[in-house]
Structure 1
Amino acid sequence: MELQRLLWQHLDMIEFRTLADDHPDLAHSPLLRGALLTLQYAQEHGSIGLTKTKAFKRVFVHWAVENFNWPGKSAEEMFRYNKVVNEYEFPPVEVLHFLLISLRLGRHIKGEFRLTKRGTKLAQAPGHLFAELIPYFVLQIDHASYARFDNRPFGKWDVWMNVINVEADHGTTEAALFKTFYGEPQDWHTVGWREMAAFSACVLRPLEWAGLLMETRKDDGGKHVCHVFKTPLWRSAIKLDTDDMLRPMSLQ
């Protein structure tokens, strides 16, 4: 009943804490890792070359595929069927390119991507880069655009994150979260799979890319099940209205 009340009330507290640059929980964020590697690559090489359409050139995209260690996007998988990978075919690079330009950490100059003074500074400051990058990515970006989805799930980040904070505290499933928010028990095997796909792509995936959630997928009796857990980074980096509803972690 308490969570149902939360779904209807106004929640405005999503506070991202700035962590020390050497905080170990920052290692959970794939997006932060990719941003640091991109900034450091541009710093080391002086720039990153751009195509005529102002995308990163393939030489950098290939390097990113091999070095980002992106969940579900291993180099072996990416190059299995394609010897050449463009920026738009590796969404993490496409999204990071947009984010770094939008946050003025880099800019396009004469066919090259070059770091700004802020970008150069934050390339060596993971905690401060996280504070700049992750709240903007999670809360401000249209996640349906790069996911190539026309549908967007109904809801707002203050409600999604406050409820997930409680529901996923000891682990839950993608289907259970969907049911909590929308009342219908949909998953990838029902007629509501499009709604599930939109929820997964626009809510759960951004939180996973940010390093705040972790998903594990397995087959259970021939049925695909996705389990969702909060990472240590969620607990150390985010302060929410529902924190006082969390149960202590069991020591057993």
Structure 2
Amino acid sequence: MIEFHKIDDTNPALAHSPMVRALEKTFAYMAEHGGIGLTPSKAFKRVFVHWAAREFDWPDHTEEDLFAVNKVLNEIDFGPLMDLHDVLIALKIGRHYKGQFKLTKAGQGLVGHAGGIFGIVTPFYLFEVNHARFSRFDDEPILGNWDVFLNVLNVETEDGATGADLRQVLFGEPDPTGGFDNVLSSLHIQVLRPLCWTGLLHMDRAKGFRSTEQSVFTKTPLWPAALRLETDCMVNGVPRQ
């Protein structure tokens, strides 16, 4: 059973969460502007998407990263923002109203409460969102269950582990003939990246074609603050002191 502990709003570990940081900035934007403008298809308007790209400074989705491949940005060009929009609607933290995105009463109650934002959004985002929509095939199933993933990662990423290490521990060695490793790709998109976006893991990204394989994943201080897992008694295979 995966257990999340309540985190105090002033806990400095929350600074490791790109998602919490982005939502706090979004709430502040809405307070200043009275809401977020929507396109006819109910996506966020470009003026907000451009603002978010600059202000969120999202890992691997910075303003520089995004504009390197797009002259203008629509919501669909900024994957993390799409996720946030969908999650806020699904959790009824925000709603569409007369061409604007507005906070609900429940959403207004989260303003200024970073720990509350993390506690509500993170479990839903990790366990309920279809992360496979960013895969090559959006109907790809999750490769296992979150209880196994989190307990294994709890031990393996204590001192840092590469994507290749984690792939080997969870699924064995890849096909030695080489080529695209769909298993590693799915592991990254459906498990490792969501954990990084919520702030539980940090990814020290390597460059090049095999970046996921060579990148190092390490638990942030938010991990032990938020999670209670069966493998907490283990660090690299020995009892935790």
TM-score by length of 1: 0.87
Q: Give SS of 1:107's match.
A: strand
Q: Give SS of 2:167's match.
A: helix
The match for 2:41 is: 53
State how far apart, in whole Å, the 1-side matches of 2:29 and 2:170 are.
41
Residues 134 and 189 in structure 2, CA contact (< 8 A), matched pair in contact too: no
Q: Give SS of 1:218's match.
A: coil
State how far apart, in whole Å, the 1-side matches of 2:172 and 2:69 are.
40
Which digits, 9 at most, give the CA deviation of each residue in 1:222-248, with x for residues without a partner?
964111111111111111111011258
**Counterpart residue type for residue 145 of structure 1:** R
Cα gap change, 1:180 to 1:110, in 2 (>3 Å)? same
State how far apart, in whole Å, the 1-side matches of 2:123 and 2:96 are.
24
The match for 2:159 is: 170
The match for 1:205 is: 193
State how far apart, in whole Å, the 2-side matches of 1:206 and 1:114 are.
25
- 1:25 equivalent in alignment to 2:16: no
More displaced 10-residue stretch of structure 1: 191-200 or 120-129: 191-200
**Counterpart residue type for residue 169 of structure 2:** T
Q: Give SS of 1:229's match.
A: strand
Which digits, 9 at most, give the CA deviation of each residue in 1:121-173, with x for residues without a partner?
20210001110001110111111124454333420001100111011111111
The match for 1:5 is: none
Residues 94 and 103 in structure 2, CA contact (< 8 A), matched pair in contact too: yes
The match for 1:234 is: 223
Query: How many Å apart are 1:58 and its aligned residue?
Result: 0.5
State how far apart, in whole Å, the 2-side matches of 1:97 and 1:169 are.
32
**Counterpart residue type for residue 157 of structure 2:** A
State how far apart, in whole Å, the 1-side matches of 2:207 and 2:45 are.
38
The match for 2:64 is: 76
Residues 234 and 240 in structure 2, CA contact (< 8 A), matched pair in contact too: no
Gaps of 5+ in 2: none
- 1:184 equivalent in alignment to 2:173: yes
Gaps of 5+ in 1: 1-12
Match of 1:144 among 132, 136, 147: 132
Identity score, percent: 44
The match for 1:160 is: 149
Which digits, 9 at most, give the CA deviation of each residue in 1:24-83, with x for residues without a partner?
000000011111111221122111110010000000000000000100112122223423
State how far apart, in whole Å, the 1-side matches of 2:113 and 2:175 are.
42
- 1:131 equivalent in alignment to 2:119: yes
**Counterpart residue type for residue 198 of structure 2:** A
Q: Give SS of 1:70's match.
A: coil
**Counterpart residue type for residue 98 of structure 2:** K
Which digits, 9 at most, give the CA deviation of each residue in 1:104-134, with x for residues without a partner?
1110111110111111120210001110001
Match of 1:62 among 32, 35, 50: 50
Residues 16 and 200 in structure 2, CA contact (< 8 A), matched pair in contact too: yes
Cα gap change, 1:123 to 1:186, in 2 (>3 Å)? farther
Query: How many Å apart are 1:206 and its aligned residue?
Result: 0.4
Which digits, 9 at most, give the CA deviation of each residue in 1:188-224, with x for residues without a partner?
x93351221111100100000010111113369x964
State how far apart, in whole Å, the 1-side matches of 2:88 and 2:27 are.
9
State how far apart, in whole Å, the 2-side matches of 1:148 and 1:61 are.
24
Residues 88 and 94 in structure 1, CA contact (< 8 A), matched pair in contact too: yes
Residues 16 and 220 in structure 2, CA contact (< 8 A), matched pair in contact too: yes
Residues 179 and 186 in structure 1, CA contact (< 8 A), matched pair in contact too: no
